[in-house]
Structure 1
Amino acid sequence: MKYKSTRGGVQGISFKDAVMMGLAEDGGLLVPENLPAADIGYLHSCACKSYESLAFEIFKLFADDIEEETLWEIVKESYANFDSGEIVPVVHKDRIYVAELFHGPTYAFKDIALQFLGNLFEHILKERSEKMNILGATSGDTGSAAIYGVKGKDNINIFILHPSGKVSPVQELQMTTVKSENVFNIAVKGSFDDCQAIVKNLFSDLEFKSKYNLGAVNSINWARILAQIVYYFYIYFRICDEKSNGGKNLRFVVPTGNFGNILAGFYARRMGLPIDKLVLATNENNILHRMISYGDYSVKDVVQTYSPSMDIQLSSNLERYLYYLYEEDSETLDKKMKELNDERRIHFTEEEINKIRSVFLSQESSNEETLSTIRNFYNSTQYILDPHTACGVKAAENFMAKDNCIYVCLATAHPAKFPDAVYKAIGKYPERPEGICKLNDLEKQSYVLNNNTDEVKYFIKNILEEGDKNAG
């Protein structure tokens, strides 16, 4: 399996090189040169054994430059710290299936990919006798999951940018209370989009990227998407067959802001997973909903909501989808990305809008609708949703009123990560897992910086050069 850039300037690279490169050197995102077809029957038999067995078989299709015995050890280690043996339990509540993706160390779906990616990094760096400095931006969950994925690992430092004061208190604690010499938290005075722009600027500075061995954990890294593809297959095998006419009327509802989570479902569908449609659920930062429903992808100001992980306008993974929308034409894609950069919008033709809608549906939820969904779902089922998952359930309920499809909503975070929103909705706080209970007793540490690429660059440079002096 070889990988290429959506922008056309990089091709023929191995899986391990794609993992280490993160953002392609031409500014594009890395994708497989040829997407493999899934053997649904065989993968079903693997899923019946365990989540790990299914993950191993899917990873083998994309990571053929890692010995199978080594890959199996990486997979086992990556899912050893989940508090459910199923890894992704699926529950049936009030006619909706809820797939719980939050049983990892930081209680968010990002753990499923970032535990794997952290172990991949460690293996490749050791094999190559190299070091890496990870740089990432987070709207909440990616940062803590990335930190937990690499804390204490050899040959890795991690710098995570988050928007100061705009993540939940639990998310902030999960990031800033990790005491590890290789972890650096940066609170940026701006929005998540500002943090993401700084990261992209630094990766686009090829001299800086090369000199300081920058690596990516955001979902611009292909391994993140690969790991998320697995749970679409796993959930499908848990629900389908006789109940859903072989999946042909099964729809996945995906709360998403950065488009990576739903993009994994798009890849699973292209590989042959026979699901009907992917339903994108979002909050008042509705740029993706506007794109799917009206062909309007125009950037507006970020609104702060009860579901902060989706408080995003520019979705970095949308480029991978657009690459396929434009029939893998890198020249057209490059023009569109320049249009987005210059005009803060992308124009779509009617034909393109119809093509988008052949795969995706969408729904947005206001802050009040998010709370009312948490409240009503709890009153009906005694099941507590986090605010992001509530956006998904709201979308499912909206479409269920119009058709007879089966809906499975991806539950992206444990409700205890957003206790204030839950309390506003139902008048009680969700039960906190042990890993969250202990956070309040820990000391916080972060560095507050201005929304300025050069300031962040200077900070990273100083930290690494000081570390080299101490090591010398």
Structure 2
Amino acid sequence: MHYVSTRGQSPAQSFSQILLGGLAPDGGLYLPAEYPKISGAELDAWRKLSYADLAFEVLKKFATDIPEADLKALTHKTYTPDVYRNARVGEDAAQITPLCTLEEKNGSKLMLQALSNGPTLAFKDMAMQLLGNLFEYTLARQGAELNIFGATSGDTGSAAEYAMRGKKGIRVFMLSPHKKMSAFQTAQMFSLQDPNIFNIAVEGVFDDCQDMVKAVSNDLEFKARQKIGTVNSINWARVVAQVVYYIRGYLSATTSNNQKVTFTVPSGNFGNICAGHIARMMGVPIDKLVAATNENDVLDEFFRTGVYRVRKSSETYHTTSPSMDISKASNFERFVYDLLDGDADRVRALFKKVETDGGFDLSGKPGSDGNEFEKVARYGFQSGKSVHDDRVATIRDVQEKHGVTIDTHTADGVKVAREYLTPGIPMIVLETALPAKFNETIREALGRDAERPAGFENIEALPQRFDVMPANVEKMKAYIAERTGL
């Protein structure tokens, strides 16, 4: 299988070639030249598989240049109950992503898929742990090194650092918005003392961090000299690893392939829900994909109106679901490429317009950039918005009615999911994180602290190591070069 850029001006590459690189040289995102298909017979055969074996079956469709025995060893090394050990009471850790029914009303079933049992208590671990093992495997085969340069609004950073800490030949340079993560998220990252981990708190918002990652990735000479790679969701391997839990969720919620399910996904950067789109394109019977946003509602606005309007840093809200405090959805370009039937020239023009004008309009109204909005429904997308009062009320309601504590982002998902319930079609909300990561809001909603898994009791009191820097690309390049010696 070969991969092409959404902007059409980079040569086709193999899976291993794009694994370490992130953005394509033309600034686009990689996608397979065509999506592999999953037959009904395959889905039936996969119902009895362990999570590790399911991951192998899915990934071998994409990583065709990795020997199957090696790929299987990597998935079995990654997806074990020892790695995903932070299951809630009553959950079966061996299931890796256990599914439970939260409530059932008028023939509509609302389910919760646990994705936060990994080492950093967030869904990002589901892909990042595999990515760490893939990186180490590939670098060892090539006798190479990699300097990972990434940005986080909260969970990606800690998931990446825990996956890469101590890995041979890998350094991690992780940007985060200064003083805009929860205390728990900050402590998870900044308390790491591993010499290959560098935390940089950027004076700005997440989009400033993400813009610097893209700027460095687009400096091809610097990127090559410094051996820069990325773990953000612009990395194709990370997105495709997330496809696996959509398939697991579907198989767990149904008994035959004549049934459909809907997923609601808390979404800011469009990476998680993009994996659901890919699963649907592969043939998984997904009825709808519902994007749940917080106050930073760029995606909700597009799926309601066809207008994609990036917000400025000054217009980006700092909310109590901070991992979605994003106003420029970097993965959205992959969906737009599919929406435009693979017209790379138009994709390139539209995202150039994002840079110059702050967005584009596909509503079909006079003066707009196209009329593709009418095609969005074919891809099953819907959306909704949740704000602080909604998430506090939802956390309280779910606890009182079901005895389950959910985090703030998952609360956004549950709030929006309840607006789209359809009789006879299970609604699966993808859990974002364990509630301990956002204890300030849990205390506001429930009047008590969230429970913490063993080992995280006093994480905020640990010594922290980080550097504060301005949102300046040249200074960031100098910082990286000084620490790599390249």
Q: TM-score range by the shorter chain?
A: over 0.9
Aligned pair 1:411/2:431, yes or no? Answer: yes
Change (3 A) 1:40 1:167: farther
CA distance in 2, matches of 1:11, 1:393: 42
Aligned to 1:375: 396
For 1:89-143, what per-residue CA distance to the aligned partner results, in whole angstroms no more than 9, with x for missing partners? Answer: 1011122100010011101000010101111110111100111100000000000
Aligned to 1:63: 63
CA distance in 2, matches of 1:258, 1:106: 19
Q: Report the residue type matching 2:9 in the other structure.
A: G
Could you tell which deviates more after superposition, 296-305 or 250-259? Answer: 296-305
For the residue of structure 2 that corresponds to 1:434, the secondary structure is coil
Question: Where do residues 6-405 of structure 1 align in structure 2 (5 Å cutoff)?
Answer: 6-80=6-80, 81-83=83-85, 84-95=93-104, 96-241=110-255, 246-248=258-260, 250-300=261-311, 301-350=315-364, 351-358=371-378, 359-400=380-421, 405=425
Please, what is the CA RMSD of the aligned residues?
Answer: 1.3
Aligned to 2:107: none
Query: TM-score, normalization: structure 1?
Result: 0.96
Is the contact between residue 296 and residue 327 of structure 2 (CA under 8 Å) also seen in structure 1?
A: yes
User: Any gaps of 5 or more consecutive residues in structure 1?
Assistant: none
Could you tell which deviates more after superposition, 19-28 or 293-302? Answer: 293-302
Is the contact between residue 2 and residue 11 of structure 1 (CA under 8 Å) also seen in structure 2?
A: no
CA distance in 1, matches of 2:363, 2:62: 33
CA distance in 2, matches of 1:435, 1:218: 27
For the residue of structure 2 that corresponds to 1:124, the secondary structure is helix
Q: Report the residue type matching 2:84 in the other structure.
A: F
Shift of 1:246: 2.7
For the residue of structure 2 that corresponds to 1:139, the secondary structure is coil
Is the contact between residue 293 and residue 357 of structure 1 (CA under 8 Å) also seen in structure 2?
A: no
Q: Report the residue type matching 1:380 in the other structure.
A: K
CA distance in 1, matches of 2:44, 2:152: 34
Q: Report the residue type matching 1:118 in the other structure.
A: G
CA distance in 1, matches of 2:176, 2:44: 39
User: Which residue of 420, 438, 445 maps to 1:425?
Assistant: 445
Could you tell which deviates more after superposition, 147-156 or 439-448? Answer: 439-448
CA distance in 2, matches of 1:259, 1:343: 21
Is the contact between residue 105 and residue 435 of structure 1 (CA under 8 Å) also seen in structure 2?
A: no
For 1:288-333, what per-residue CA distance to the aligned partner results, in whole angstroms no more than 9, with x for missing partners? Answer: 0000011221122110111000000001000011001111010000
Aligned to 1:457: 477
Is the contact between residue 22 and residue 217 of structure 1 (CA under 8 Å) also seen in structure 2?
A: yes
CA distance in 2, matches of 1:163, 1:435: 26
Query: TM-score, normalization: structure 2?
Result: 0.93
Q: Report the residue type matching 1:223 in the other structure.
A: A
Question: Structure 1: which 4+ aligned runs deviate by more than 2 Å?
Answer: 39-47, 245-248, 402-406
CA distance in 2, matches of 1:425, 1:463: 43
For the residue of structure 1 that corresponds to 2:384, the secondary structure is strand
For 1:241-282, what per-residue CA distance to the aligned partner results, in whole angstroms no more than 9, with x for missing partners? Answer: 36xx8333x210000110010000000000000111100001
Shift of 1:201: 0.5
CA distance in 2, matches of 1:387, 1:153: 32
Change (3 A) 1:393 1:111: same
For the residue of structure 2 that corresponds to 1:21, the secondary structure is coil
User: Any gaps of 5 or more consecutive residues in structure 2?
Assistant: 86-92, 105-109, 365-370
Q: Name the % identity.
A: 41
Is the contact between residue 47 and residue 53 of structure 1 (CA under 8 Å) also seen in structure 2?
A: no
For the residue of structure 1 that corresponds to 2:456, the secondary structure is helix
Q: Report the residue type matching 2:258 in the other structure.
A: G
Structure (1/2) with the larger helix percentage: 1
Shift of 1:438: 4.6
Is the contact between residue 306 and residue 367 of structure 1 (CA under 8 Å) also seen in structure 2?
A: yes
Shift of 1:349: 3.1
Is the contact between residue 305 and residue 363 of structure 2 (CA under 8 Å) also seen in structure 1?
A: no
